[in-house]
Chain A
Amino acid sequence: MSANADDLGFSIDMTVRNEWRNVDLLRTSVQNCFTAVFADVDGCHAIAMVTGELLENALKYGDWVSGDRAMFRLRVHRSSSSIVEVSVQNPLKESDVNAMNLLKAIEEISSYPKPEQAYRARMLQIAQSEEDTSPSRLGLVRIAFEGNCRIAAKIENGTVTVTAALDLT
């Protein structure tokens, strides 16, 4: 981890065991680190929320069966600009249904003029669907809406990297 208060840069890059309790440990660590460096409490909470949702998705939908490493990689980076990038990398094959669902969900979010509309539409879909029939996938659209993020995913060589870019302006 490194931080430079002069240019408000910040970087975290770590490989972590795929244990559920690590989600909250990392989420709160990211929140505390950013709060220590920056004065924007709302922005720090948004970065932490985005981190938590991405980590939860990695643990829920990653391929933790066929891979030989039960680890994921978290990167949080802010350069001198107002954009913070949070990315999580975990095992996932291109042919996996979760990979296709992920790309489809990102495409759907992008199809709305505003993330808020995508979020409300997803909530209404959840309300109208049968209980517990499929994953809610609310996390990604929450990231887009509450985190004011652009989301992208890259799947190659048996891993997926999901990146959320927060605009803190």
Chain B
Amino acid sequence: MDNLHSGDLTIEVAEGPDAVFRCTWKGKSNERNPPEILKPWFEKLLAAAGAKLGSIEMHFDKIEHFNSSTITALIRLIQNCRKTNIKLVMVYDQTLKWQRLSFDALRVFEKNDDLFHLRFA
């Protein structure tokens, strides 16, 4: 699985023990249409994690900014992970108010199925 480099955004991916695909977001997600770039990369990531019966961790604590279109792409990712039974964890910096607001709101997608969780860095 290759890292994603697009404009000001980098997502570094590393496969850890138990096939946990750790994805670290860096820079800024400020493209006009982020889903156009993120969707195909997410599809490859889901395929790689699914093939190894693994899970995905998205780490946002190092990202500087993302626009609302990026949030839309993340909502789609949550849905797609759930559909394919791949566990997804999003990790954020709760000491930053903007991250706390953005990610706490995503708790609306947490269910009792253990497939989506939010965690502090």
Chain A residues at the B interface, C-beta cutoff of 8 Å: 20, 23-24, 27, 42, 45-46, 48-49, 52-53, 56, 59-60, 116, 119-120, 123-124, 126-127, 131-132, 136, 138-139, 142, 145-146
Contacts and interface: CB of A to CB of B under 8 A. Distances in A.
Contacts of A52: 30, 65, 67
A120 B76 CA distance: 15
Interface residues of B, number: 24
Contact of A145 (B30, B69, B105): B105
Contacts of B35: 131-132
27 contacts: A23-B30, A42-B96, A42-B97, A42-B98, A46-B98, A48-B65, A49-B65, A56-B32, A56-B69, A116-B105, A119-B105, A120-B105, A120-B108, A123-B75, A123-B109, A126-B72, A127-B109, A136-B69, A138-B69, A139-B67, A139-B68, A139-B69, A142-B68, A142-B71, A145-B101, A145-B105, A146-B101
Interface of B: 8, 28, 30, 32, 35, 65, 67-69, 71-72, 75-76, 78-79, 96-98, 101-102, 105-106, 108-109
Given A52-B65, A56-B69, 16 more contacts: A24-B28, A42-B96, A42-B98, A45-B97, A45-B98, A56-B32, A119-B105, A123-B71, A123-B106, A123-B108, A131-B35, A132-B35, A136-B72, A138-B68, A139-B67, A146-B98
A52 B101 CA distance: 17
Contacts of B106: 123
Overall SS of chain A's interface: helix
A138 B97 contact: no
A56 B30 CA distance: 9
Contacts of A124: 108
Nearest to B80: A131
B101 A127 contact: no
